[in-house]
Structure 1
Amino acid sequence: MKKTFLILFAFLSVFAFSQTLSSKLDKTTLVLGEPGTLHIHISNLQAKDVLSAPKNELLPFHFEEIKDSINKQVDTYDRVIEFAVYDEGKFTIPALDFRINGKLLKTIPYDVEVINTAQKGDQINDIMKNKEVDLGVQDYWQMYKWYILGVFIILALIFIIHQLIKYGRRKKSDPVVMTNQTLRELDKLKKKNYIENGNYRLFYVELIDITRNFITKQYKIPADVLLTDDLIDVIKLNNTISQENEKTIEDIFLRGDLVKFAKVFPDQQNMQDDFDQMKAFVKRSSKDLEAEQLRTGV
């Protein structure tokens, strides 16, 4: 008898000191989007830790958790999950795991049916009629000011870029720029000492090449591709270059051709005079262009 009593006492002690898990679902049928509540309760906790899925991650897919609250006391544990389902059909809340000091407890599974009570053709009415609001200039400015400012900024950038390109082109094509560049090329030619060394052939070849390039860019005459006789005819017909400059170009170009074909042998003085005259022509060229602009009204 005593042995039986001890066995019964031990059996009751196990149940008396063990944890009890219970769960309750308030509704098994929900309207589409209607909130439902699952309440999980553990008693006789004895200050032990409870391990379960993190907040808002306890329920499976399709169950949209709205609120997940946990209240743990020394001897009890309560977890209340408020959820909604936004798809029609039947869904299952499986057995959920709760571990207490290594001991695994599970809730019972629940089947939930979600229905749509709306009927085809039902009219949906707004809760409140739309209110018409009169907007003033200030309201429209607040709504669209960044778009307007953006358009002005883009237009300003386009104008600045256009002016920079225009200025850059004008600067590069400025007669003064071309004149100074050619004068520097003539100075480089002088420093080669062709005149002092009597190297007349190279002197006239380079002098005429520099001049042809200058006439092409300064007067827009294709001097770089025309033969000497053709170039002289075009210059006379063009009527842009003054007669004084025409004569300088004609005399030096013709003499340069004779030198290249070894028909004349200029001395140092002739070479120096031709160099000085060509340099003077380059300096006078801006006056030709000013006169042409006055004549054409450009």
Structure 2
Amino acid sequence: MLTSFLGFSQTLSSNLDKTTLALGEVAIFKIQILDLNGKDVQIAARNELLPFHFEMVNDSIAVQKDIYLRSVKFAVFQEGKFTIPEIEVKVGDKILKTIPYEVEVINTAKKGDQINDIMKNKEVRLDVKDYWELYKFYILLALLFIAIIVLIIGIVKYGRKRKSSPAVTTNQTLKDLEKLKKKNYIENENFRAFYVELIEISRAFITKQYQIPADVLLTDDLITYMKSTNAISEENEKIVEDIFLRGDLVKFAKTIPNQEIMSKDFADIRDFVKRSTKDVEAENLRTLNSGEQENFRNKNT
């Protein structure tokens, strides 16, 4: 179909090669403007000329001094009637319009038509190797994920236990005591600084090794607490009691110890730290025996 408009010497014509289409069949819509005399043409952008039902296959534009040509190839993939509306074209300062077109799209396939494959399907048997090649990436990924989970659980469970074990706590405290010794507080008779740091190290050790809140209890309360729990042997309790009480006296300037007493207190705390693992082992054994006795009583009740 061909239609022409005359507008101040510019001739606009449009053409649609088919008005009835099969589903997916390609049609061509053309617009032509003659006698431009170098004037500017303003029209919808490439691939935006037709409504959304019309799928663009190709949209070509050719412009010369006196002619504008546009050829749009399209297809429609839905049955029904669709309209190409009138399209405005501005040439210079004048507006020109095409006429509308109606396109009917039909389904040419008939009900009951048999669709034949080009080749018959083949049955392929897969063995274990074939399945491995198909799914090995997912299997390896799953195994890696499981390994990461096991590793994290191991680190959390055993790593934490190892870091908080009695032997580790003992060794760390011995290192702290060695650092204290190298400060030469005893040789310089800096008794106050010596006892402050010695008791601070001891409180931190008792808190971690015996789960006794030595870091927050006052000395008298700590002594009472230790004796009530029986977690520390009597020998070690006596050492802690004597040195902590002396440390309080030194802190408040009520007594001034000599180098011999300071050296002995340091050695006693160091020996107490070394012997502490025996206290922990004994406490664990008592707890285990108490648990077994409780289970025995429950079974015979």
Aligned to 2:50: 59
Aligned to 1:112: 103
Pair 1:28-2:11 in alignment? no
Contact 1:259 1:265 in 2 (8 A): no
Q: 2:270 corresponds to which letter in structure 1? A: K
Equivalent position to 1:135, from 123, 126, 138: 126
1:95 offset after TM fit, Å?
Answer: 3.5
Pair 19,259 (structure 1): closer, same or farther in 2 beyond 3 Å = closer
> Which stretch of structure 1 is more off in the superposition, 38-47 or 82-91?
38-47
Pair 267,101 (structure 1): closer, same or farther in 2 beyond 3 Å = closer
Q: 1:178 corresponds to which letter in structure 2? A: T
Aligned to 1:157: 148
> Which stretch of structure 1 is more off in the superposition, 214-223 or 271-280?
214-223
Aligned to 1:228: 223
SS of the aligned residue for 2:48 comes to coil
Pair 1:84-2:75 in alignment? yes
**Number of aligned residues:** 268
| Whole-angstrom CA distance in 1 between matches of 2:202 and 2:235 | 14
1:253 offset after TM fit, Å?
Answer: 1.5
Aligned to 1:283: 274
Pair 1:253-2:241 in alignment? yes
Pair 34,187 (structure 1): closer, same or farther in 2 beyond 3 Å = closer
> Which stretch of structure 1 is more off in the superposition, 175-184 or 95-104?
95-104
Aligned to 1:218: 209
Q: 1:169 corresponds to which letter in structure 2? A: R
Pair 266,252 (structure 1): closer, same or farther in 2 beyond 3 Å = farther
Q: 2:241 corresponds to which letter in structure 1? A: F
1:278 offset after TM fit, Å?
Answer: 2.2
| Matches for 1:142-181 after TM superposition, within 5 Å | 142-166=133-157, 168-181=159-172
Aligned to 1:7: none
1:282 offset after TM fit, Å?
Answer: 1.7
SS of the aligned residue for 2:273 comes to helix
Pair 1:274-2:265 in alignment? yes
1:188 offset after TM fit, Å?
Answer: 3.4
1:124 offset after TM fit, Å?
Answer: 7.9
Pair 72,289 (structure 1): closer, same or farther in 2 beyond 3 Å = same
Gaps of 5+ in 1: 1-14
| Whole-angstrom CA distance in 2 between matches of 1:130 and 1:141 | 24
Aligned to 2:84: 93
Contact 1:98 1:104 in 2 (8 A): yes
Q: 2:226 corresponds to which letter in structure 1? A: L
Contact 1:34 1:85 in 2 (8 A): yes
Q: 1:66 corresponds to which letter in structure 2? A: V
Contact 1:186 1:279 in 2 (8 A): no
Contact 1:36 1:82 in 2 (8 A): yes
Contact 2:177 2:270 in 1 (8 A): no
| Whole-angstrom CA distance in 1 between matches of 2:275 and 2:33 | 108
Q: 1:60 corresponds to which letter in structure 2? A: P
1:293 offset after TM fit, Å?
Answer: 8.8
Aligned to 1:3: none
Contact 1:208 1:253 in 2 (8 A): no
Contact 1:88 1:116 in 2 (8 A): yes
Structure having the higher Rg:
1
| Whole-angstrom CA distance in 1 between matches of 2:71 and 2:248 | 108
| Whole-angstrom CA distance in 1 between matches of 2:246 and 2:67 | 120
Contact 1:228 1:254 in 2 (8 A): no
